[in-house]
Protein backbone atom coordinates (compact mmCIF):
# COMPACT_ATOMS: atom_id res chain seq x y z
CA UNK A 1 0.00 0.00 0.00
CA UNK A 2 1.37 3.40 -0.95
CA UNK A 3 0.36 5.11 2.26
CA UNK A 4 2.08 2.81 4.71
CA UNK A 5 4.65 4.92 6.54
CA UNK A 6 7.70 2.99 5.47
CA UNK A 7 10.64 3.32 3.11
CA UNK A 8 8.49 2.90 -0.02
CA UNK A 9 6.35 5.86 1.01
CA UNK A 10 9.42 7.92 1.75
CA UNK A 11 10.93 6.86 -1.57
CA UNK A 12 7.79 7.89 -3.49
CA UNK A 13 7.70 11.22 -1.67
CA UNK A 14 11.40 11.90 -2.26
CA UNK A 15 11.21 10.72 -5.88
CA UNK A 16 8.24 12.98 -6.60
CA UNK A 17 9.86 15.95 -4.90
CA UNK A 18 13.14 15.38 -6.78
CA UNK A 19 11.36 14.99 -10.10
CA UNK A 20 9.44 18.24 -9.68
CA UNK A 21 12.53 20.11 -8.46
CA UNK A 22 14.64 18.80 -11.36
CA UNK A 23 11.98 19.80 -13.89
CA UNK A 24 11.71 23.28 -12.39
CA UNK A 25 15.50 23.68 -12.47
CA UNK A 26 15.86 22.42 -16.04
CA UNK A 27 12.72 23.54 -17.88
CA UNK A 28 10.33 25.31 -15.61
CA UNK A 29 12.53 28.15 -14.39
CA UNK A 30 9.91 30.78 -15.11
CA UNK A 31 6.92 28.63 -14.25
CA UNK A 32 4.47 30.91 -12.52
CA UNK A 33 3.13 28.32 -10.10
CA UNK A 34 6.46 26.69 -9.19
CA UNK A 35 6.01 27.23 -5.45
CA UNK A 36 2.58 25.59 -5.48
CA UNK A 37 3.79 22.70 -7.61
CA UNK A 38 6.43 21.93 -4.99
CA UNK A 39 3.62 21.53 -2.43
CA UNK A 40 2.23 18.50 -4.32
CA UNK A 41 4.47 15.92 -2.56
CA UNK A 42 3.67 17.46 0.83
CA UNK A 43 -0.07 17.27 0.12
CA UNK A 44 0.32 13.62 -0.90
CA UNK A 45 2.18 12.92 2.34
CA UNK A 46 -0.57 14.63 4.35
CA UNK A 47 -3.28 12.66 2.54
CA UNK A 48 -1.51 9.43 3.48
CA UNK A 49 -1.18 10.43 7.10
CA UNK A 50 -4.85 11.43 7.26
CA UNK A 51 -5.90 8.14 5.67
CA UNK A 52 -4.15 6.28 8.48
CA UNK A 53 -5.34 8.50 11.32
CA UNK A 54 -8.11 6.97 13.43
CA UNK A 55 -9.51 10.41 14.30
CA UNK A 56 -10.59 11.13 10.71
CA UNK A 57 -14.24 10.34 9.99
CA UNK A 58 -14.92 7.53 7.53
CA UNK A 59 -16.71 9.86 5.09
CA UNK A 60 -13.65 12.11 4.93
CA UNK A 61 -11.31 9.12 4.66
CA UNK A 62 -13.22 8.07 1.55
CA UNK A 63 -12.49 11.46 -0.05
CA UNK A 64 -8.87 11.29 1.07
CA UNK A 65 -8.53 7.78 -0.39
CA UNK A 66 -10.05 8.93 -3.68
CA UNK A 67 -7.55 11.80 -3.85
CA UNK A 68 -4.67 9.39 -3.14
CA UNK A 69 -5.90 7.05 -5.86
CA UNK A 70 -6.13 9.95 -8.31
CA UNK A 71 -2.63 11.09 -7.34
CA UNK A 72 -1.02 7.72 -8.05
CA UNK A 73 -3.12 6.78 -11.07
CA UNK A 74 -1.33 7.08 -14.41
CA UNK A 75 -4.70 7.94 -15.95
CA UNK A 76 -5.90 11.42 -15.09
CA UNK A 77 -6.84 14.70 -16.72
CA UNK A 78 -3.24 15.90 -17.08
CA UNK A 79 -1.12 12.77 -17.63
CA UNK A 80 2.38 13.05 -16.19
CA UNK A 81 3.73 10.61 -18.78
CA UNK A 82 3.08 13.15 -21.53
CA UNK A 83 3.36 16.49 -19.78
CA UNK A 84 5.97 15.87 -17.12
CA UNK A 85 5.79 17.27 -13.60
CA UNK A 86 3.67 20.27 -14.60
CA UNK A 87 0.89 17.70 -14.94
CA UNK A 88 0.87 17.28 -11.15
CA UNK A 89 -1.22 20.47 -11.00
CA UNK A 90 -4.45 18.48 -11.35
CA UNK A 91 -3.29 16.06 -8.63
CA UNK A 92 -2.46 19.06 -6.44
CA UNK A 93 -5.91 20.58 -7.01
CA UNK A 94 -7.70 17.30 -6.25
CA UNK A 95 -5.60 16.84 -3.11
CA UNK A 96 -6.39 20.39 -1.97
CA UNK A 97 -10.09 19.80 -2.62
CA UNK A 98 -10.06 16.64 -0.47
CA UNK A 99 -8.00 18.34 2.24
CA UNK A 100 -10.38 21.28 2.23
CA UNK A 101 -13.23 18.85 2.85
CA UNK A 102 -11.38 17.45 5.88
CA UNK A 103 -10.94 20.98 7.21
CA UNK A 104 -14.58 21.87 6.59
CA UNK A 105 -15.57 18.73 8.50
CA UNK A 106 -13.91 20.24 11.57
CA UNK A 107 -10.68 18.28 11.38
CA UNK A 108 -8.34 21.11 10.45
CA UNK A 109 -6.39 20.84 13.69
CA UNK A 110 -5.57 17.22 12.88
CA UNK A 111 -4.38 18.26 9.41
CA UNK A 112 -2.17 20.95 10.97
CA UNK A 113 -0.78 18.43 13.46
CA UNK A 114 0.09 15.93 10.71
CA UNK A 115 1.50 18.51 8.27
CA UNK A 116 5.20 17.95 7.57
CA UNK A 117 5.62 20.62 4.88
CA UNK A 118 6.63 24.23 5.11
CA UNK A 119 4.22 27.06 5.76
CA UNK A 120 0.64 27.18 6.95
CA UNK A 121 -1.10 24.12 5.53
CA UNK A 122 -4.56 25.65 5.87
CA UNK A 123 -3.51 28.75 3.94
CA UNK A 124 -1.83 26.62 1.25
CA UNK A 125 -4.94 24.49 0.82
CA UNK A 126 -7.08 27.59 0.47
CA UNK A 127 -4.62 29.10 -2.00
CA UNK A 128 -4.68 26.01 -4.23
CA UNK A 129 -8.46 25.65 -4.06
CA UNK A 130 -8.83 29.38 -4.74
CA UNK A 131 -6.57 29.32 -7.79
CA UNK A 132 -7.42 25.86 -9.17
CA UNK A 133 -9.53 27.34 -11.97
CA UNK A 134 -6.50 29.41 -13.00
CA UNK A 135 -4.06 26.50 -12.62
CA UNK A 136 -6.15 24.09 -14.69
CA UNK A 137 -8.66 26.16 -16.59
CA UNK A 138 -12.26 26.62 -15.53
CA UNK A 139 -13.61 23.66 -17.53
CA UNK A 140 -11.05 21.15 -16.29
CA UNK A 141 -11.40 22.30 -12.69
CA UNK A 142 -15.21 22.12 -12.80
CA UNK A 143 -15.04 18.61 -14.26
CA UNK A 144 -12.57 17.40 -11.63
CA UNK A 145 -14.45 19.02 -8.78
CA UNK A 146 -17.69 17.37 -9.86
CA UNK A 147 -15.99 13.96 -9.69
CA UNK A 148 -15.01 14.47 -6.07
CA UNK A 149 -18.00 16.31 -4.62
* pLDDT, the chain, mean: 86
pLDDT band with cut points at 50, 70 and 90 for residue 54? very high
Q: Helices in 54-137 by DSSP H: which ranges?
A: 58-72, 80-83, 88-102, 108-114, 121-136
**Looking at residue 9, what is its pLDDT?**
55
Average pLDDT over residues 2-6: 52
- The answer to whether residues 116 and 45 touch, using CB atoms and an 8 Å cutoff, is yes
Amino acid sequence: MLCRMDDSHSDFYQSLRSRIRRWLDEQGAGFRHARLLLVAPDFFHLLCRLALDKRIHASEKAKVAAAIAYFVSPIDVLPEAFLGPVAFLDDLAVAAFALNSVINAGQGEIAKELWAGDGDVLALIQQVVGTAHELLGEGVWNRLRSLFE
